[in-house]
Structure 1
Amino acid sequence: MSSSTLRTLTTPKRALFTCFLLTIGIGYIMALLYLFLVDFDPHQKMGMNASEGISMKYGGQQGKTRLEAALRGSMSDRLDPGDKQEIIQWIRGGATANGYEKVKPNFEKNCMACHSAKSGLPVPPLTSFEEVRKVTQIDTGASLSQLARVSHVHLFGIGIIFLLTGAIFALSGVSEKLRLVIIILPYVTIWADIGAWWITKYQPVFAYVVLIGGGFMGLALALQILISLWEMWFKNVKLIPADVQRET
Structure 2
Amino acid sequence: MSDLRALPLTFRALFTSFLILIGLGYLMALSYLFLVVVEPHQKNGMGLIAGIDMKYHGRPDSSRLEAALRGQMADRIDQADRDRILEWVRRGAPQSGYESVKPIFASRCVACHNPRSGLSVPPLDSYAALRKVTQTDQGPTITQLARVSHVHLFGISIIFLLTGAIFALSRITPWIRIVFVVIPYLSILADIGSWWLTKFNPVFGIIVVISGAVMGLVLACQIFIPLWEMWLPSPWASDHPGRDPARAG
On the 8 A contact 2:77/2:108 being kept in 1, the answer is: no
What SS is found at the alignment partner of 2:200? coil
The match for 1:116 among 110, 126, 132 is 110
Alignment-derived partner of residue 165 in structure 1: 163
Give the structure with higher Rg (CA). 1
TM-superposition CA deviations, 1:6-31 (whole Å, max 9, x none): 11111111111111111111111111
On the 8 A contact 1:186/1:217 being kept in 2, the answer is: yes
Alignment of 1:163-242 (within 5 A): 163-235=161-233
List gaps (5 residues or longer) in structure 1: 238-248
Q: TM-score, normalised by structure 2?
A: 0.82
**1:106 aligns to 2:101 (yes or no):** yes
TM-superposition CA deviations, 1:9-54 (whole Å, max 9, x none): 1111111111111111111111111222222222222321110011
TM-superposition CA deviations, 1:116-153 (whole Å, max 9, x none): 12798x77554431232232111000111111111111
On the 8 A contact 1:196/1:206 being kept in 2, the answer is: yes
Alignment of 1:80-95 (within 5 A): 80=80, 84=83, 87-88=85-86, 90-95=88-93
Any runs of at least 4 consecutive aligned residues in structure 1 with deviations exceeding 6 A, and if so which? none
Shift of 1:90: 4.0
Alignment-derived partner of residue 68 in structure 1: 66
What SS is found at the alignment partner of 1:47? coil
Instruction: Quote the Cα distance in structure 2 between the aligned partners of 1:78 and 1:26.
Output: 34
Instruction: Quote the Cα distance in structure 2 between the aligned partners of 1:31 and 1:138.
Output: 29
Equivalent pairs: percent with the same residue?
52
Instruction: Quote the Cα distance in structure 1 between the aligned partners of 2:76 and 2:152.
Output: 34
Alignment-derived partner of residue 241 in structure 2: none
Instruction: Quote the Cα distance in structure 2 between the aligned partners of 1:230 and 1:196.
Output: 34
Alignment-derived partner of residue 241 in structure 1: none
List gaps (5 residues or longer) in structure 2: 236-249
Shift of 1:63: 2.2
Q: TM-score, normalised by structure 1?
A: 0.82
Instruction: Quote the Cα distance in structure 2 between the aligned partners of 1:79 and 1:172.
Output: 55
Shift of 1:225: 0.5
- The count of residues paired between Structure 1 and Structure 2 equals 229
Output the amino acid matched with 1:49: G
Quote the RMSD (CA, aligned, Å): 2.7
Output the amino acid matched with 1:113: S
Shift of 1:61: 0.3
